[in-house]
Chains A and B, each alone.
Chain A
Amino acid sequence: MSAQLAFLAFFGAAALWFAVVVFRTHSMVRSALALLFSQTAVGAMFLVMQAEFLGVLQIMMMATEMSVMAIFMVMFMMDPGGLGAMEMTHQKKRSLWAGGLALIAALGVSWLGNWGPVATQLALPARQTELLGIELLGRSMLIFESAGLTILTAMIAATMVAITPLEDEPKKERHHGH
């Protein structure tokens, strides 16, 4: 049990450290990959907590998602290598406030929420996976399907916006919004 706790603490610290690196580095690619490894560390925490399927899924999904994000950052940001020491931040005050409030909210939920009794007996990993599948295809099916559909719609819409042809590009729009 103590070894489990030590590992949990280690991966938790790693997740936090990588999360800090995300904002500390000037390099866009480093930033994206630091976020990746932060998420991987969260996945490792799942594994330590014996939620095997969730952990493996988290580790797998984040690798690909963050890599895709990295290429977008390289594509759209100037100086993606961070060698030019350019200032890329804006709306600092607002973001500080927003971040602080979100942190308080998250802490509040985790402290005040009713998490139920602590599980003493864990189902075997295979059984967990099975239960998760039944949950996904039962009670939570509607939520997941509508979320999936929404994301798909958003992706198609984003692509449509991005590939506006040059000729009939609205003149004003190009200077706003980004």
Chain B
Amino acid sequence: MSWLIPLIALIGAIYLLAVIEGWSLGGAFSLARPARAALAMIGQESTKTRKSDALFYQAGPVLLLVAGVLAVAVIPLAPDIILADMATGALFLNAALAYVLVALIMAGWGPNGAYAMIGGWRFLGQFLGYAMLIVMPITAVAMRAESLMTTQIVTSQAGLWNVFYQPLGFVLFMIAAQALIFLPPLDLPVAPGELAGGVEAEYSGPQLLVFRLARFVIILALAGAATTFYFGGWLGPVLPDWVWSGLKTMIIAAAMLSVGRFLPRLREERFLALCWKLGIPLSLINILVVGVLVLVVPV
């Protein structure tokens, strides 16, 4: 039954996130909104495009969901509430989230539509930008914890949260996370104004629901990862540990969802230039600084 509690927590968190997203987009706070939207999607047809690559078309959203769930599996809600406490947890998170790229390429290629295809390949370009920025800050986190195990990463922050210990790494990680889950202003593969939904544009009905669901799961995985890596996971006074990690995760996820509202979309080449010319050197500096701190200052 150890998997039941995280699963219930996951479903509850997804619903809450959907409420928050509706609030930030539509203006009205409505608890029924996500439920209605989901029911409406279940009731609709799943359209098929002509000459689609049916296998990719069907598999894309499912793979996205699988990648999200696998990523969530290594995020601890509390020391004992975790689906898989792997010795290589932090690396496994990366491995699972790498399949977001594969899923989007499949979903973009599958429907045989120009908007979707451009969206899918755009994400590959975006990936080239963020890939290093997600791995290198995690390296610095693992250096301090001297482990890739997510639970050990949390306990390593008992003295001082990583967000204060390595703020540079935190900023870089969050930018990369925003790009990984293609939230605005880095929503190039979906780009509602430019590509009419891009990768998502051809999906309807239940398939669209799976796609949207997968997106929320990945947002949660990333917000959970940020909590684990930088905000001391379940660590906190008074309240039970799972409340702390849940609260932190939800706040980060809500921030990720709403920040894009105020910013125009970043162009792909600008993002790539920023990531490579600025982001990679900064993350190397971050590793160096953390390395020195780990050796010199015992916190």
Contact = CB atoms under 8 A, between A and B. Distances in A.
A71 B124 CA distance: 8
Interface stretch (A12-20, A61-69, A87-95, A167-175): A61-69
B163 to A, nearest CB: 25
Nearest to A74: B121
Interface stretch (B83-91, B213-221, B278-286): B83-91
Given A67-B127, A126-B147, A56 B92 contact: yes
B102 A71 contact: no
A125 B87 contact: yes
A178 to B, nearest CB: 22
Nearest to B89: A56
Given A125-B86, A125-B87, A126-B149, A67 B105 contact: yes
A28 to B, nearest CB: 10
Given A67-B127, A83-B51, A129 B94 contact: no
B91 A64 contact: no
Contacts of B124: 67-68, 71
Interface in A17-63: 27, 29-30, 33, 36, 52-53, 56-57, 59-60, 63
Identify the interface centre among B55, B92, B101, B127: most chain A CB within 10 Å of its CB: B92
A8 interface: no
Contact of B131 (A64, A125, A128): A64
A25 to B, nearest CB: 10
A64 B135 CA distance: 13
A81 interface: yes
B53 interface: yes
Given A30-B53, A33-B106, A71-B124, A63 B98 contact: yes
Interface string B95-130: 100110110011001001000000001001001100
Interface in B195-246: none
Nearest to A36: B102
A137 B93 CA distance: 24
B253 to A, nearest CB: 24
A101 interface: no
Given A64-B127, A67-B127, A129 B87 contact: yes
B102 A33 contact: yes
A124 B87 contact: yes
Identify the interface centre among A29, A57, A81, A124: most chain B CB within 10 Å of its CB: A29
A65 B147 CA distance: 26
Contacts of A60: 91, 94-95, 98
Contacts of A66: 102
A59 B95 CA distance: 6
Interface string A121-132: 000111011000
14 contacts: A29-B109, A33-B102, A56-B91, A59-B95, A60-B95, A63-B98, A64-B127, A67-B105, A67-B124, A68-B124, A74-B121, A125-B88, A126-B149, A129-B88
